[in-house]
């Protein structure tokens, strides 16, 4: 497997990042990804500050390899989580959903490697200006929360590569080694993989949610709730109700009311796969099993090698 600046920056064997995801990526998944030679990320987005601290400590007992934390900047506990990340000696932080200016100086001053998730090349440039070390360019096909401009991975990645000197990590639609090779062809130096790791044996996703992702066909996700915040979900009963009231011209208020609170936890962690919000990418159509993280990484690397070999 080729080595890039992404390998060097994070000190990892394969230029693969296991995405930090709410309700899915705790210490167990992050450590398993790290042990497999990828970068594992603990997803702080669904945690309380004290749970985040406990998960960081737990991950350290499970692996001596590098892992990091994904911190959504809009998170209601973000402000409290920053000192915890510093106190616990985390070396790598991925920030998302907010300005890269907000915490980058603090993290950089502590010697932390910072990556930030972007949905446009313009935001990639802002990251560079803010002193970030790498950008994750995430396309429209990605699961969960999503940019408003709807740029796909195929068009976003090369434009981000052209916009900055920083290494670009491609995200959105990458579930196998063919897409990983494609990302490299577009100029990315690494990939961030989310949905495929939802179906890792070590992910905290409920077994019923994993089964739903394995069953999902190619057209079983959709980007909904655009007036509130765009999010890609599996089309279950809840999602179909959202689609129906959106088609009828529902406004922000009606959608917020329907969404209510705790829908993501209900679906992803508690396993109510009809009434919960199931955040997953379009690539779920290509996911056909639950497998250990090590096996997922092994397949990605092998398929990527094969795809590259087939090109020459």
Q: What is the DSSP string of 68-129?
A: EEEEETT-TTHHHHHHHHHHTT--EEEEESS-TTTTHHHHHHTT-EEEEEESSHHHHHHHHH
Rounded CA separation 276/289 (Å): 21
Q: Pick the closer one to a second copy by CB: 30 or 183.
A: 183
Window contacting a second copy (CB under 8 A); options: 31-39, 84-92, 166-174, 268-276:
166-174
312 binds a second copy per the rule CB under 8 A:
yes
Among residues 37, 45, 72, 158, the one that binds a second copy under rule CB under 8 A: 158
127 binds a second copy per the rule CB under 8 A:
no
Residues 271-290 that bind a second copy (CB under 8 A): 281-283, 285-286
Among residues 2, 3, 57, 241, the one that binds a second copy under rule CB under 8 A: 2
302 binds a second copy per the rule CB under 8 A:
no
Rounded CA separation 222/242 (Å): 11
Q: Pick the closer one to a second copy by CB: 73 or 250.
A: 250
Q: What is the DSSP string of 119-143?
A: SSHHHHHHHHHHT-SEEEEE-TTSS
Among residues 99, 106, 159, 256, the one that binds a second copy under rule CB under 8 A: 159
Q: 60 and 90 in contact (C-beta within 8 Å)?
A: no
Residues 235-254 that bind a second copy (CB under 8 A): 247-251
Among residues 99, 106, 152, 256, the one that binds a second copy under rule CB under 8 A: 152
Q: Pick the closer one to a second copy by CB: 57 or 148.
A: 148
Contacts of 231 (CB under 8 A, 6+ apart): 144, 145, 146, 223, 224, 225, 277, 279
Rounded CA separation 227/187 (Å): 33
311 binds a second copy per the rule CB under 8 A:
yes
Q: 231 and 255 in contact (C-beta within 8 Å)?
A: no
Q: How far is the CB of 148 from a second copy (least distance, A)?
A: 9
Residue window 167-206: x/- pattern of binding to a second copy, with contact defined by CB under 8 A: -----xxx-x-xx-xxxxxxx-------------------
Q: How far is the CB of 129 from a second copy (least distance, A)?
A: 17
Q: How far is the CB of 285 from a second copy (least distance, A)?
A: 6
Among residues 1, 84, 201, 223, the one that binds a second copy under rule CB under 8 A: 223
120 binds a second copy per the rule CB under 8 A:
yes
Could you identify the residue written with the tokens 């959106």? 246
4 binds a second copy per the rule CB under 8 A:
no
- Burial pattern 275-285, b for ≥16 Cβ within 10 A else e, equals ebbbbbbbbbb
Q: 178 and 307 in contact (C-beta within 8 Å)?
A: yes
Closest among 270, 196, 154 to 21, alpha carbons compared: 196
139 binds a second copy per the rule CB under 8 A:
yes
Interaction site with a second copy (CB under 8 A): 2, 120-122, 139-141, 149-156, 158-159, 162, 172-174, 176, 178-179, 181-187, 217-219, 222-223, 227, 247-251, 281-283, 285-286, 307-312
């Amino acid at each position: 497997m080729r080595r890039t600046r992404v390998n060097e920056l994070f000190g990892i064997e394969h230029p693969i990042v296991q995405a930090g995801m709410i309700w899915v990526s705790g210490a167990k998944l992050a450590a398993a990804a790290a042990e497999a030679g990828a970068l594992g990320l603990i997803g702080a987005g669904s945690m309380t500050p004290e749970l985040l601290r406990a998960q960081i400590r737990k991950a350290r007992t499970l692996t001596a390899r590098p892992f990091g934390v994904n911190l959504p900047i809009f998170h209601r506990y973000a402000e409290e989580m920053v000192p915890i990340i510093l106190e616990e000696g985390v070396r790598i932080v991925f920030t998302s959903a907010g300005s890269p200016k907000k915490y980058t100086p603090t993290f950089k001053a502590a010697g932390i490697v910072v990556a930030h998730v972007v949905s446009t090349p313009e935001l990639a440039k802002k990251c560079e200006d803010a002193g970030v070390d790498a950008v994750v360019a995430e396309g429209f096909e990605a699961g969960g929360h999503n940019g408003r401009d709807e740029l796909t991975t195929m068009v976003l990645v090369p434009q981000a590569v052209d916009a900055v000197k920083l290494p670009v990590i491609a995200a959105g639609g990458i579930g196998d080694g063919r897409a990983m090779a494609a990302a490299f062809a577009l100029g990315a130096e690494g990939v961030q993989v989310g949905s495929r790791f939802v179906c890792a044996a070590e992910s905290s996703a409920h077994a019923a949610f994993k089964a739903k992702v394995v069953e999902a066909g190619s057209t079983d996700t959709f980007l909904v709730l655009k007036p509130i915040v765009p999010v890609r979900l599996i089309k279950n009963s809840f999602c179909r109700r959202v689609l129906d009231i959106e088609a009828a011209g529902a406004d922000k208020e009606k959608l917020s009311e329907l969404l209510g609170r705790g829908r993501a936890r209900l679906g992803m962690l508690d396993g109510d796969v009809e009434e919960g919000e199931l955040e997953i990418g379009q690539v779920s159509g290509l996911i056909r099993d639950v497998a250990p993280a090590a096996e997922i990484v092994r397949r990605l690397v092998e398929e990527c090698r094969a795809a590259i070999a087939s090109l020459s």
